[in-house]
């Protein structure tokens, strides 16, 4: 086997494993490619899409939003396929390289074909690529560490998270500008180049990685005995409510972008006047999440704890409530637009701040929840549940768009009523969650626990 040639020797305890910089650089480039492409999808479908004759063939906002959420659903649903390929058959390294080729093919389809056919092929291939790579890259970080250097694992994941946000923030700024000034071919082509670079960097580091071989199908199936399924089921109940959160959050990448198209986006800074592009507002999401992780952990949580003891479940419930308020602001903005006004883009800033606060409370906490509530041998499986919560949140939003579509392309929930519907949905979920969470008994399984029988 080719993997036998690769580095498997112990690393020095005082140094970061040699493969970590390659993994971090790969993740930064891959996230740039994905978020760069995703940031402009809604605008592309409603302003740039053409037919085979070259004439404009634009989608309605409702149709474009539905397509976007269907794409996101597929991308976050398919990680289980990547996990099976990696753990049972190919190993993580080969799976990532194999899937990266499909990923690049999706970007290529979008870059060379601006019709609905190119769009469909590109979105499906990129969803397969993202779904295949996502469960493997973060897991391969952990594979580089053993008992002798485990104290460096937290630092490595800190850099890994930094790479994700650096790649996404740069993409949110650069790719919308490319779409406006160079057109969709370059705007989709550059993310494809970055995906190819990501694959190249990962291949370059192949002799510096510690490789964990695939365990085979039989070993993989052992994760799904009766006791394991019971554990998966009790955690999945909680993630149903996390999915509701994601059905709202994902709209900042599509519905909120199209709302921003109708707002006054002109800014003046120190005498310099410029226009913020609607897709660039997503920069606030990545910026505020980093800010609110610090604010919540070192300020808000300790303050609330004085009066109301917090645990993972209470943080998730509180996050659902905060998310409702972010959508109330968006609904108010939509009311102003419906009255013929053109509110300033600054009104979306507090909505993004509240949404990121909700993300900190729900998403970051549910990641911790997945780690602490799952026995050691089920941690990867429960991580798939977390990704499926994102997938089914997008599935829910896509199906709602389909249900409210009129034959003429208009919506049965026009204007602010669409966002108010989600306020009611999220508030209802928060109330039900308050009762469900009271019957859940929290358990903690640490990484150094004795192996499960």
**Encoded tokens for 442:** 């929290």
The enclosing domain of 328 has a CATH number of 1.20.1250.20
**What is the rounded CA–CA span in Å between residue 292 and residue 289?**
5
By the 8 A CB rule, do 389 and 377 touch? no
pLDDT given for residue 13 in this prediction:
61
**Encoded tokens for 115:** 């019709």
How would residue 293 be classed by pLDDT, with cut points 50, 70 and 90? Answer: confident
Domain extent for 149: 18-217
Mean confidence (pLDDT) of the chain: 88
What is the average pLDDT across 427-434? 97
How would residue 206 be classed by pLDDT, with cut points 50, 70 and 90? Answer: confident
What is the average pLDDT across 353-370? 89
Q: Is residue 63 part of a domain?
A: yes
**Encoded tokens for 374:** 């799952």
Whether residues 100 and 166 fall in one domain: yes
Whether residues 163 and 271 fall in one domain: no
Query: What confidence tens digit (pLDDT) does each residue in 124-156 have?
Result: 999 999 988 887 887 788 778 777 777 777 678
Cβ neighbours of residue 453 closer than 8 Å, sequence gap 6 or more? none
Whether residues 382 and 240 fall in one domain: yes
What is the number of structural domains in the chain?
2
Cβ neighbours of residue 178 closer than 8 Å, sequence gap 6 or more? 186, 187, 190
**Paired sense of beta strands 266-269 and 272-275, if any:** antiparallel
**Encoded tokens for 188:** 């989709």
pLDDT given for residue 203 in this prediction:
94
Whether residues 213 and 239 fall in one domain: no
Whether the predicted pLDDT of 101 surpasses 70: yes
| Residue of 259 and 224 predicted with greater confidence | 259
Residue after which a domain boundary falls, among 200, 217, 234: 217
Q: Is residue 257 part of a domain?
A: yes
Whether residues 232 and 335 fall in one domain: yes
Residue after which a domain boundary falls, among 197, 217, 237: 217
pLDDT given for residue 179 in this prediction:
97
**Encoded tokens for 281:** 């507002």
Whether residues 196 and 231 fall in one domain: no
Q: What is the pTM of this model?
A: 0.89
Whether residues 351 and 377 fall in one domain: yes
3-state secondary structure the chain: CHHHHCCCCCCCCCCCCCCHHHHHHHHHHHHHHHHHHHHHHHHHHHHCCECCCCCECCCCHHHHHHHHHHHHHHHHHCHHHHHHHHHHHHCHHHHHHHHHHHHHHHHHHHHHCCCHHHHHHHHHHHHHHHHHHHHHHHHHHHHCCCCCCHHHHHHHHHHHHHHHHHHHHHHHHHHHHHHHHHCHHHHHHHHHHHHHHHHHHHHHCHHHCCCCCCCCHHHHHHHHCHHHHHHHHHHHHHHHHHHHHHHHHHHHHCHHHHHHCCCECEEEECCEEEECCHHHHHHHHHHHHHHHHHHHHHHHHHHHHHHCCCCHHHHHHHHHHHHHHHHHHHHHHHHHHHCCCCCEHHHHHHHHHHHHHHHHHHHHHHHHHHHHHCCHHHHHHHHHHHHHHHHHHHHHHHHHHHHCECCCCCECCCCHHHHHHHHHHHHHHHHHHHHHHHCCCCCCCCCCCCCCC
**What is the rounded CA–CA span in Å between residue 214 and residue 17?**
21
**What is the rounded CA–CA span in Å between residue 297 and residue 313?**
15
Q: Is residue 182 part of a domain?
A: yes
Whether the predicted pLDDT of 208 surpasses 50: yes
Residue after which a domain boundary falls, among 192, 217, 242: 217
């Amino acid at each position: 086997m080719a993997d036998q040639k690769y580095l498997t020797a112990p690393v020095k305890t005082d140094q970061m494993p040699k493969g970590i910089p390659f993994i971090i650089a790969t993740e930064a480039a891959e996230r740039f490619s994905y978020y760069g492409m995703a940031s402009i999808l809604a605008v592309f479908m409603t302003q740039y899409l053409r037919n085979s004759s070259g004439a404009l063939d634009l989608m309605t906002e409702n149709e474009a939003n539905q397509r976007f959420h269907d794409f996101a659903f597929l991308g976050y649903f398919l990680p289980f396929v990547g996990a099976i390929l990696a753990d049972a058959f190919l190993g993580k390294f080969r799976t990532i390289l194999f899937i990266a080729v499909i990923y690049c093919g999706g970007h290529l389809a979008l870059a060379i074909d601006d019709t609905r056919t190119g769009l469909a092929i590109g979105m499906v291939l990129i969803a397969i690529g993202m779904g295949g790579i996502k469960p493997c890259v973060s897991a391969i970080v952990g594979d580089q560490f053993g008992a002798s250097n485990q104290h460096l694992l937290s630092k490595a994941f800190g850099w890994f998270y930094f790479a994700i946000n650096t790649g996404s923030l740069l993409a949110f700024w650069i790719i919308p500008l490319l779409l406006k000034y160079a057109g969709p071919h370059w705007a989709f082509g550059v993310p494809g180049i970055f995906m190819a670079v990501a694959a190249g960097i990962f291949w370059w580091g192949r002799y510096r990685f510690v490789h964990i071989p695939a365990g085979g199908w039989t070993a993989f199936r052992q994760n799904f005995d009766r006791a394991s399924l019971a554990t998966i089921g009790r955690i999945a109940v909680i993630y149903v409510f996390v999915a509701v959160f994601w059905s709202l959050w994902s709209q900042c990448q599509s519905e909120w972008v199209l709302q921003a198209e109708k707002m006054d986006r002109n800014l003046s800074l120190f005498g310099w006047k410029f226009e913020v592009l609607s897709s660039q507002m997503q920069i606030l999401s990545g910026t505020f999440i980093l800010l609110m992780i610090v604010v919540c952990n070192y300020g808000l949580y300790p303050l609330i704890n004085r009066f109301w003891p917090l645990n993972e479940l209470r943080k998730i419930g509180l996050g659902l409530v905060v998310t409702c308020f972010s959508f109330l602001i968006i609904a108010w903005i939509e009311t102003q637009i419906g009255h013929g006004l053109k509110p300033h883009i600054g009104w979306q800033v507090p909505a993004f701040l509240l949404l990121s606060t909700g993300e900190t409370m729900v998403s970051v906490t549910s990641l911790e929840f997945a780690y602490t509530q799952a026995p050691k041998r089920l941690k990867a499986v429960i991580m798939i549940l977390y990704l499926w919560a994102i997938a089914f949140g997008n599935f829910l939003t896509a199906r709602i768009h389909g249900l409210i579509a009129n034959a003429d392309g208009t919506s049965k929930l026009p204007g602010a009523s669409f966002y108010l519907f989600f306020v009611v949905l999220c508030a209802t979920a928060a109330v039900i969650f308050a009762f469900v969470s009271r019957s859940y008994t929290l358990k903690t399984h640490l990484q150094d626990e004795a192996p499960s029988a």
